[in-house]
Amino acid sequence: MLFGRGLSSRDVTPGSVFCRNGAGDLVETARVLSVGKDGYGIPHVRFEVSFRHPSFSRVHDSRVLALSSFARQYPDRM
């Protein structure tokens, strides 16, 4: 199954790193921790996200998104 700009579900695996650029010089990086299906069979991605900007240090947070949402929000594999 393809998501976004040519990203497929096979590309989203534990250890994979994706990014997206935000407003200004903000860079958001997502490192995939795990991929699994919920009780309804919908694949979800658990990942650690970090933010970098010249005006502040890195901030880390853990999040979970449906695989299709993750692929839309983080289209660029590093």
What is the domain count for the chain?
1
Task: State the pLDDT at residue 8.
Answer: 58
Residues recorded for the chain: 78
* Whether the Cβ atoms of residue 68 and residue 42 lie closer than 8 Å to each other: no
Range of the domain at 67: 2-77
* Whether the Cβ atoms of residue 78 and residue 21 lie closer than 8 Å to each other: no
pLDDT digits (tens, 9 = 90+) for 12-70: 999 999 988 777 788 889 999 999 999 999 999 999 999 887 777 677 789 999 999 99
31-to-35, 39, 40, 41, 55 alpha-carbon distances in Å: 11, 24, 24, 23, 22
